[in-house]
Structure 1
């Protein structure tokens, strides 16, 4: 079920299935900024990535000598969240560990997803509680897909990503569903990544520890802009299904297994640890303008 919030400048709709952002509109122009989830290309719009980001080596991991299996990006995105608050400008969802999650992930938790609008800016807050007395290992990430509509006048090459600062950085390349240690130089003292039809032919562009803390998706031929503040996140990735009219802006605290991963959860690159009864919070902000 979809839950609508608005501040009079922007409007968002979030589905209780996966607490997934389905729509984000700039009301002055009634322009939709989210991908339409066309299943021919990619049937999601903004999945919540928890308790892992990316893929595990061989689809499994071990913890305290026991082996568990889990699919890419974890299981939160495929579960129904409870709505615990719904107001005009804010909605809060809750997903808790249960008998089924414990078969894949041996930790007891509460995951809160809070969406709120203020001054045309959508805030997405991730709040995690470790409800056991034992330490808990996890990752958290976002995967929103923003539309890049094309027509006879506007091509995909008219869109570009722009960081707040000039960057010199390499990408962490994927080998299947895992990450190679052989980084590839990609940005050289520039703010921009120009989009092309085949930019993502080898999958996502993954960056770690950039200087910039926000990035915008812009078009050279109109005033359409999406700006994301991802200052709470260590990694930022960009992805598109070749041929589809969207680009994902993906802030992560966590990453897929590297090809040489040991398979032990507590040794996983990018993994976060929460002490018993501990709490964790991270947030990102999205502003759309038409």
Structure 2
């Protein structure tokens, strides 16, 4: 089911399956900012990543001496229908709860909320994880929105760039076969800007651990494209696309894909979040059209 929010400045479209953001249109310019799911490159638009980010080594992990298997990347929440928990003129909140099926691969009782709030030319995404158990809950949470970078006769993909609010080291994690090489990092840019090119992501995502910045902008000086993206509280920030596709993903993560030397124990997983019994975990993202 598709839900629309419209405040006269922006139109937002969200699909209840996966609580996925599928549209963000500036009503004054009629510019669509979300990638529109071309299966030739990538058939998603903005999946939620839970209860894991990335892949599990050998598609499995261990908890309390038991082996559990998840074969999909980025967990399973994105592949379920969410219910509408609340809705008004400028917001909608979705809910996904653990069930007997999810317990077979993830033995925790949880509620996962994702609320979209439209304020002026800002869209705020509010994530909340509730641990319904008395025991500790181990999880990761991430966002994966793909923002359209359309090209034309006069505009090339290389005319777009990512600009950080602060200077960055330019060092990123090295992914090999979808897993982090624990021995390597690579310097891929200098200062505040990542210039985009068709080959930028040829070796997978660029993943920054503990960035200095909690805001980036996607810009294009030729066509006036300027979008701000805020992500405070996320330990990792990743950037990705399929080479040749007209989008770039901005991916704030609380968690990361397995390291190549992972022992598989969930308690030892790099970047894993731990939520005490009956406690809540919250994170927010803001997208602003400038």
Tell me which interval the TM-score lies in, with the shorter structure as reference length.
over 0.9
- Partner-residue secondary structure (3-state), 2:43: coil
Query: Matches of residues 120-269 of structure 1 in structure 2 within 5 Å?
Result: 120-181=121-182, 182-188=184-190, 190-269=191-270
**How far apart are the structure 2 equivalents of 1:283 and 1:13?**
18
**How far apart are the structure 1 equivalents of 2:48 and 2:57?**
20
**How far apart are the structure 1 equivalents of 2:220 and 2:202?**
21
| Structure 1 unmatched ranges of 5 or more | none
Query: Matches of residues 63-142 of structure 1 in structure 2 within 5 Å?
Result: 63-70=63-70, 71-142=72-143
Paired residues of 1:5 and 1:89 also in contact (CA < 8 A): yes
- Partner-residue secondary structure (3-state), 1:269: coil
| Structure 2 unmatched ranges of 5 or more | none
Paired residues of 1:164 and 1:212 also in contact (CA < 8 A): yes
Shift of 1:6: 2.2
**How far apart are the structure 2 equivalents of 1:37 and 1:59?**
26
CA RMSD of aligned residues (A): 0.9
**How far apart are the structure 2 equivalents of 1:102 and 1:233?**
26
Partner residue, 1:44: 44
Paired residues, number: 288
**How far apart are the structure 1 equivalents of 2:171 and 2:95?**
37
Shift of 1:220: 2.2
1:18 aligns with 2:18: yes
CA deviation profile, 1:155-203 (whole Å, cap 9, x unmatched): 0110100001121131001111211121112333x11111111111001
- Partner-residue secondary structure (3-state), 1:51: coil
Paired residues of 1:160 and 1:195 also in contact (CA < 8 A): yes
CA deviation profile, 1:197-226 (whole Å, cap 9, x unmatched): 111100100001111110011112011112
Paired residues of 1:61 and 1:265 also in contact (CA < 8 A): yes
CA deviation profile, 1:81-119 (whole Å, cap 9, x unmatched): 001112111000000000110001000000011000102
